[in-house]
Structure 1
């Protein structure tokens, strides 16, 4: 199956589609609610910009008003402690899965330029990760996020 072909297996019209891939967000469990929402929103935005196959078709309501397309599949949100996030990040990198990162430093910046500079200033193994988003084969993402639990 190539990247342009959706990886869904339709059973019958009207039944849920099963995806061979997974979009997942892992957030550190000690974040304030506003920090969780902010980090999750930033993290998933990175996937759609580099992986066009994750984006579905545009929406339109019954009156013909158009809306932007969104992800074509669910986004699963997980949480875990700092150690879980660090281990997941290492596994994501070792599996070469596309990912976006959000570090604690980004809560103090106010724009993309400063965000990128904050990440660039820290070596990989010393990033203070508070979140990551990952996309890839279901089993690869599941293995990378081992130890994380579904966000409540």
Structure 2
């Protein structure tokens, strides 16, 4: 069996955030979305870390996360492409900025039809070529 945490990687973890968000919002959305990918793919998490003194630290994802940006249309288009391909993804909507906890976040998404979601970000883990096609038009975040 191939080690999923050793290059070369045949899949990609990618986050796409809207380019009109404030810096704190981009960081917050990215963190939330990566947690979704991590929860769905625990096999991508490496072992715990330890420093030379034996102090231990939490494990991290064992592969890079690419962060992209795009305008609202780019995020919406990528969302539609992912759904048409049957690619599992995490989403973050503008309404979620006004909530206070996980249940409220899920409620904010549940109240809105798929095509009406005001998406500010999404994340996915899929084969490299599929991610490239889904995120076509987005650019790497500076």
Task: Tell me the TM-score range normalised by the shorter chain.
Answer: over 0.9
How far the C-alpha of 1:18 sits from its partner, in A, is: 2.0
In 2, the alpha carbon distance for the partners of 1:129 and 1:80 equals: 11
Q: Which position in structure 2 is the counterpart of 1:32?
A: 22
Q: Which position in structure 2 is the counterpart of 1:6?
A: 4
The DSSP-based 3-state class of the residue aligned with 1:122 is coil
How far the C-alpha of 1:110 sits from its partner, in A, is: 0.8
In 1, the alpha carbon distance for the partners of 2:121 and 2:95 equals: 12
Report runs of 4+ in structure 1 exceeding 6 Å deviation: none
Long gaps (5+) in structure 1: 9-16
In 2, the alpha carbon distance for the partners of 1:67 and 1:98 equals: 29
The DSSP-based 3-state class of the residue aligned with 2:75 is helix
- Which of 86, 89, 98 is the aligned partner of 2:88? 98
In 2, the alpha carbon distance for the partners of 1:31 and 1:63 equals: 41
So what's the TM-score if we normalise by structure 2? 0.95
86-95 vs 126-135, which moves further: 86-95
54-63 vs 123-132, which moves further: 54-63
Q: Which position in structure 1 is the counterpart of 2:69?
A: 79
Say whether the 8 Å CA contact 2:75–2:120 is kept in structure 1. yes
RMSD: 1.3
The DSSP-based 3-state class of the residue aligned with 2:115 is helix
Q: How many equivalent pairs are there? A: 142
Mapping for residues 1-150 of structure 1, pairs under 5 Å: 5-6=3-4, 8=6, 17-150=7-140
In 2, the alpha carbon distance for the partners of 1:98 and 1:47 equals: 9
How far the C-alpha of 1:82 sits from its partner, in A, is: 0.6
How far the C-alpha of 1:127 sits from its partner, in A, is: 0.3
So what's the TM-score if we normalise by structure 1? 0.89
How far the C-alpha of 1:52 sits from its partner, in A, is: 1.2
